[in-house]
Amino acid sequence: MSELAMEHADRPGDGTVDLVGLVIEPFDVFYRRELRPVVGLAYVLTGRRSAAEDLAQEAFVAAYRRWRDIGGYDDPGAWVRRVVANRAVSLRRWARVEADALVRRRRVDRYDDEASIEHEHLWAEVRRLPKRQAQVIALHYVERRTTADIAALLGLSEATVKTHLQRARATLATRLER
């Protein structure tokens, strides 16, 4: 390891070379690039700006702590999105009653993002879907991920992702016709 790399070895993601010779992108560069889309995804999954920002922060802190490993992944952003998706499910379990009340009262905070957040009713219905269907819809339409990407991200087969996508679309079509 070079003298410069050793000098900064205790700081994750500073553009140093890891043990196998891969240059790890500086964490701050990664963070600035990924923050907005990750918060947008978290918002779609939670329906609340504050919860979305908290989930994104937790995911980025976890990534920062393990940046030497995660920074070497082909797509470290996928790792962060998976953390957000998993933590959103946990949050949903604990806050389902509160979230439903907020949606019913139309007091859900708005997060103006390119991810069509303006369609509050649609995303409220997405949040009512079973957790995997909601995750697949959000990743497909907000993140514009392919079914193969979603399968890898969530640890599912591509066929399972397609099934979740099909069922979610059918459910949403029925609910939104009312």
Residue 11's contacts (CB-CB under 8 Å, 6 or more residues apart) are: none
Mean pLDDT by 10 residues, the chain (178 residues): 38 52 85 96 89 94 94 94 90 54 42 49 87 92 89 93 91 78
CATH of domain 3-177: 1.20.140.160
**According to the model, what pLDDT value does residue 119 have?**
66
DSSP code of residue 130: -
pLDDT at 2: 34
Claim: this prediction has a pTM higher than 0.85: no
CA–CA separation, 96 vs 104, rounded Å?
12
- Residue 141's pLDDT is 84
Q: Which residue type does 73 have?
A: Y
**pLDDT score recorded for residue 23:** 74
